Structure 1
Amino acid sequence: MSDGAVDLKAEARAKAYSMPLEQINPVDPELFLTDTHWPYFERLRKEDPVHYCADGHEDGPYWSVTKFNDIMAVDTNHDVFSSEPAITIFDPEEDFTLPMFIAMDQPKHDVQRKTVSPIVSPHNLAELEPLIRSRIQKTLDSLPIGTPFDWVDKVSIELTTQMLATLFDFPFEDRRKLTFWSDIATADPTSKLFKTEDPDTERKMYLFECVDYFSRLWEERVNAPPRGDLISMLAHGESTKNMDRMEYLGNLILLIVGGNDTTRNTMSGSVYALNQNPAEFAKLRANPDLIPSMVSETIRWQTPLAYMRRTAKQDVELGGKTIKKGEKVLMWYVSGNRDEEVIDNPNAYIIDRERPRHHMSFGFGIHRCVGNRLAELQLRILWEEILVRFPEIKVVEEPVRVKSSFVKGYEQMMVVIPSKL
């Protein structure tokens, strides 16, 4: 870490502990861009674990739940905390509402999720494993040796986008469109992805391009016998075959973001974490059987989606506070994964933890990440193949992070592979 980064973190810590508690606004994307959100969550866990922010966001006030057990209590209480109308702090616009099953309650959520879940069944994952491995091998073998390159672009994005294209049976030559639509769907309005002064209109334009493209694929699949790809599953599923255009788009965005951002940012996060913790990398190299444990620890340490939103269906007490009906509740997974009362030494990256899968990056309850085993599979194979090829992967400068309080990830991470084994 550079001296500048150390100074920035020290400054953030001083600010986090000196400002009035009620002014802490963890949804500020600048905190995640600069990786300075940690002391704010640390203070909230200690002093105000169920925290009300009255004026920190354009879409109104919100509650932050920052401790592991409180988050689990919200995430599993579907009778009191609703996933509708949205899973992010932003409220849907009346003329641009995107229904998706992650932002639905039972029973509609359950039947729509069940429509697509066979694609990540144990049998299907076993079928996919040889393809995943061959693509990872090909991608790693194409990397330059001794020359800096962007790991995010060359490896993380490329591998997850190839996987998404397979799951959708999407035209392979256009697969980077999936990456772009995923980024646009979740980008902060101030992101440099937007080229005009009206990011809202620009976002809608690109998402309409997405649904237009996928509508052509829907027409192909709905007029053919059912197949094993996600579009065919949606087109033939009893609970999804009559979706309107906006619900189709909503579920597409859910599946694209869910299959892209989380895995890709953990692929990058694993390289960064092992650079920050060389003793753990040495431990991994000495014992490759630790790869599955390392993967789980990285998913906890990285927490690729920082929070999920719920909306209170009724007045409810949590942590000594009264949350009113209709109020927004943000479950900060990124904070729960660093809760000292539940996870030993939570800020440390330890690849052989006793319970490495004891984390909340996948959520809990009916909305637990449907593709979590696929993500773990891809990460496991990636590191199996890295360890037989490269003695090290050096991060040569501090990565550029995504400006978002929802997607906690990397925009760029320059690395050098000094040599092959």
Structure 2
Amino acid sequence: MSRLSPFLEPVANKAAATLPIDWQIKGMHALQNLKKRIGKREQPPVFKEVPLPAVSELALEDIDVSNPFLYRQGLWHSYFKRLRDECPVHYKKNSPFGPFWSVTRYEDIMFVDTHHDLFSAEPIISLGPPPPGLEIETFIAMDPPKHDVQRQAVQGVVAPKNLAQMESLIRSRTEDVLDHLPIDEPFDWVQKVSIDLTSRMLATLFDFPYEQRHKLAYWSDMAAAPPESTGGTADIDESFIASADMAKQMSLLWREKEARKAAGEEPGFDLISLLLANENTRTMINRPMEFLGNMVLLIVGGNDTTRNSMTGGVLALNQFPEEFTKLKQNPSLIPSMVSEIIRWQTPLAYMRRVAKQDVELNGQTIKKGDKVVMWYASGNRDERAFEQDPDLFIIDRKNVRKHLSFGFGVHRCMGNRLAEMQLRILWEEILKRFDDIEVLGEPEYVQSNFVRGYTKMMVKLKKTS
């Protein structure tokens, strides 16, 4: 939200704390529509897919790895390899998302990620800005100390003790999904398994109405797909409607838990109960964009990594069938394979930072205020960092946990152990039931420069005899 004068800000804050959040979003939507009618609303970029050139045909300065079709067209390997080899800290002056630096080698990414004193996560972690009127605040896009306070409030939900208590529930829900899959018949793995399982887990984490769990996946998809931010396909009006619905439902859930807490009821161990129990976050609902932003962050964080790795793992084992044979012969390799899936897939391609001061990095001078993009998808394929060919999928890879997919430093993904546990349980249960998962044709991919995900992947199962 734009800064107000010192005289108006207290009035605006009081109004924000009083009006229901969904009303505020609907009001912003109406304002944006009015601006559109009078020609004052900035139009989002329009991305039309055309065949991209081979990277060898481009001058270095013309390489644009922010193109949202790079993954769909299978060119991301060659584009990033050329940058890693020839210009590992690369400046793109003109892009639909403005100028930015690409950091593509493993060691340079580690340097940026672990130096929050030099590189700020504020105000956002996507390449482009959020849609006008939906400028939410999230703790992943905050610097210490505010980041640390808000992260600490919800960290407990993925503490080892709580994960141990969740394991049986995750397993029973995984069993239920797998037991209802068709055998020897084509079906969409993305819809039937990846989305269904992650929606069930999100409902558990939020103590959200289980019968409405599909909304959580939908809200996550909408939040991660604005064309302004990621080159995605989200319609601005649909985004406002989805945001208002999410704000209404999550705030009702918050108020319900708040009332139970006030009545002396023992709090649960879900994310909202943990935020209410923390002195620093218990009034977050009175700061609408911060409340909404952190609901979005926790929903997207619980969705994208696990969901797309559930699909990516099946695809990887089809592309490297000798690894599936190795796995079936030695199921104890599942934990190692889970880390390799997350490296090989890299569900979120990057995180963005802003230089707090002039910084020298690999021979380039990054100026204060410049956007810096850490391309995890590239760092996870850096031949300098991985002894075995990083383009191969190797389930017993050496130092398999050194991948970048969860980030490093203060912003390292807090749900990494939960994601790993979900994937481990999935593959343990798959091996009990199925002898083969055959991928039928090419998957369909998300249009995005941020989410490395799938919209459809047809498969056929063969049952273990």
| TM-score, normalisation: structure 1 | 0.94
RMSD of aligned C-alpha atoms?
Answer: 1.5
Structure 2 unaligned blocks of 5 or more:
1-50, 262-266
Distance 2:279 2:56 in 1: 53
Match of 2:303 in 1: 260
CA distances 1:287-327 after superposition (whole Å, capped 9, x unpaired): 00000011100100000000000011111111111111111
State the one-letter code of the partner of 2:283.
Answer: N
CA distance in 1, matches of 2:83, 2:147: 32
Q: Structure 2: which amino acid aligns with 1:235?
A: L
Equivalence for 2:221: 183
Q: Which residue of structure 2 aligns with residue 142 of structure 1?
A: 180
The residue type equivalent to 2:255 in the other structure is: E
Residue in 2 aligned with 1:364?
A: 408
Structure with greater Cα Rg:
2
Shift of 1:360: 0.3
In structure 2, what is the Cα distance between the partners aligned to 1:29 and 1:295?
A: 27
Q: Which moved more, 1:326-335 or 1:241-250?
A: 241-250
- Cα deviation digits, residues 115-165 of structure 1 (max 9, x gap): 001000000000000111111111101000011000011111111110000
Structure 2 residue aligned with 1:392: 436
Once the two structures are TM-superposed, the CA of residue 202 in structure 1 deviates from its matched residue by 2.6
Deviation at 1:266, TM superposition (A): 0.3
The answer (yes or no) to whether the contact 2:233–2:447 under 8 Å persists in 1 is no
Is 1:227 equivalent to 2:263 in the alignment?
no
Q: Which amino acid aligns with 2:459?
A: V
1:30 aligned to 2:69?
yes
SS of corresponding position for 2:197: helix
1:149 maps to a residue whose letter is F
Aligned length: 405
Alignment of 1:349-360 (within 5 A): 349-360=393-404
SS in 1 for 2:70: helix
**CA shift at 1:206, angstroms?**
1.2
Change (3 A) 1:334 1:85: same
Contact 1:181 1:207 survives alignment (8 Å): yes
Residue 161 (1) aligns with residue 205 (2): no
Map of 1:6 onto structure 2? none
Alignment match, 2:367: 324
How far apart are the structure 1 equivalents of 2:444 and 2:394? 24
CA contact (8 A) 1:291 1:384 kept: yes
User: Partners of 1:193 and 1:151 in 2: how far apart?
Assistant: 22
The alignment partner of 2:434 has SS state of coil
Aligned pairs (5 A) from 1:233-272: 233-243=274-284, 244-272=287-315
> After superposition, what is the alpha-carbon deviation per residue over 1:195-244, rounded to whole angstroms, capped at 9, x for unaligned?
xxxx2233122112111110100110111123211111123321212221
Work out whether residues 82 and 310 of structure 1, in 8 Å CA contact, stay in contact via their aligned partners in 2. Answer: yes
Q: C-alpha distance in 2, partners of 1:117/1:60?
A: 34
Output the CA distance in 1 between the equivalents of 2:333 and 2:93: 45
Residue 251 of structure 2: aligned partner: 215
Residue 33 of structure 1, CA deviation = 2.1
Amino acid aligned to 1:209: D
Q: 8 Å contact 1:292–1:380 — kept in the other structure?
A: yes
Verify the 8 A CA contact 1:81 1:310 in the aligned structure 2: yes
Q: How does 1:378-417 map to 2 (within 5 A)?
A: 378-417=422-461
- Give the counterpart letter for 2:169 in structure 1: L
Letter in 1 for 2:57: S
Give the share of equivalent positions with the same residue, in percent: 57
Q: Which residue in the other structure is 2:390 paired with?
A: 346
Q: Normalising by structure 2, report the TM-score.
A: 0.85
